[in-house]
Amino acid sequence: MALAITLSATSLESEEPNMLRGASRFLTQKYQRGEPLTCDKYPKICNVKGSAGPDCCKNKCVNLSTDEYNCGRCGKKCGFSKMCCQGKCVNPRTNEKHCGRCGNKCDNRGSCVYGMCSYA
């Protein structure tokens, strides 16, 4: 299912005038004319403040390092009980480097059991 990002010109003027900061003048002109902006045609749209991520997969802005449906690359889905940490699918209940959450290392605190370091 593809999601087209459509932005209205009225919201640019009234709500957040700096929304396309950093985008090219060409993108800003397209946006103000009411033409739909999609990341497959205009990848810079994913760098706009409030975007879901800097990467474009199937016309949707995502973050490949944390999106469990696009983990590391477009279309790579993490299996049941796994989460996406640094672009890899890991099991947070047993992973020593991502115990319970991304980036939580057990190091000298023992092994990761049930998402907790040195569970006993």
Task: Specify whether the CB–CB gap between 50 and 21 falls below 8 A.
Answer: no
Task: Specify whether the CB–CB gap between 102 and 82 falls below 8 A.
Answer: no
Q: Is residue 97 part of a domain?
A: yes
Residues 14 and 56 in one domain: yes
Residues 54 and 96 in one domain: no
Q: Is residue 14 part of a domain?
A: yes
Please work out, in degrees rounded to the nearest 5, the angle formed at the alpha carbon of residue 52 by the alpha carbons of 47 and 57. Answer: 85
Residues 16 and 54 in one domain: yes
Q: Could you report the per-residue pLDDT of 2-61, keeping only the tens digit for each?
A: 444 444 333 333 334 444 555 555 555 555 556 667 888 888 888 888 888 899 998 899
Residues 56 and 18 in one domain: yes
Please state, for a pLDDT cut of 90, what percent of the chain lies above it. Answer: 38
Residues 54 and 95 in one domain: no
Query: What pLDDT shows up at residue 52?
Result: 87
Q: Is residue 82 part of a domain?
A: no
Query: What pLDDT shows up at residue 13?
Result: 38
Number of domains in the chain: 2
Q: Mean pLDDT for the chain?
A: 76
In which domain, by residue range, is 46 found? 9-60
Rg of the chain, C-alpha, whole Å: 19
Q: Is residue 26 part of a domain?
A: yes
pTM of the model: 0.61
Q: How far is CA 35 from CA 9, 43, 49, 91, in A?
A: 9, 15, 19, 42
